[in-house]
Amino acid sequence: GENVEQHPSTLSVQEGDSAVIKCTYSDSASNYFPWYKQELGKGPQLIIDIRSNVGEKKDQRIAVTLNKTAKHFSLHITETQPEDSAVYFCASVSGYSTLTFGKGTMLLVSP
Amino acid sequence: DTGVSQNPRHKITKRGQNVTFRCDPISEHNRLYWYRQTLGQGPEFLTYFQNEAQLEKSRLLSDRFSAERPKGSFSTLEIQRTEQGDSAMYLCASSPQGRTEAFFGQGTRLTVV
């Protein structure tokens, strides 16, 4: 089955800095890669996604890049703010559209 | 705009008891998923419905777990003879027909004592 590795497990940055989270996947048939933000006690919130026919996608301060050959994708957050502090999960989809998640990255943005 | 709704939000039960959770997906979303999340981990897939048909079940879904979606709308997840290892957050998600995006509810946190 699919395996998704996510790094780093924790990331601390100063407000205004950029943050990068990286993921790798194993199943070459995976074709959809969403990113979720999860705040304490809440469900995961979809923040951005990318499909296998696209190399990069941007939405205001967040962007995602995909390298299909290397089977890795990354989340980039620019001009970080304290409200960006949360746990971020990458995921991949193959088969019946079920998600396989990474283990998460706890992002802490200090004022 | 109502999102995915899950009830109850929290459930504390004694080991050996049965529990049932409910999920109401976003209106007109024909696909519904159940995931389980333990502390410090990403959600893990349990089962998937397209309309009322249960199309896939994870090996994580032991015979003590059963899920239904009788009319293709809301779904229930029942755990029989709960064990302490069942303590987790149970998440429900839904997707519209023809789309891959999955939207999650707030989850039901189960504590088995």
Which residues in B8-32 are b (16+ Cβ under 10 Å) and which e? Answer: eeebebeeeeebebebbbbeebbbb
pLDDT by residue for chain A (111 residues), tens digit each? 889 999 999 999 999 999 999 999 999 999 999 999 999 989 999 999 999 888 999 999 999 999 999 999 999 999 999 999 999 999 999 765 789 999 999 999 999
Region of residue A39 (left: phi > 0; alpha: psi -120 to 50; beta: else): beta
Chain length of chain A: 111
CA distance B33 to chain A (A): 8
Q: What is the pLDDT of residues A60-83, one digit of tens each?
A: 999 999 999 999 999 999 999 999
Pure H helices in B1-113: none
Out of A4, A34, A44, the one facing B101 most closely (by C-beta) is A34
Query: For residue A102, what is the nearest residue in chain B, using CA coordinates?
Result: B42
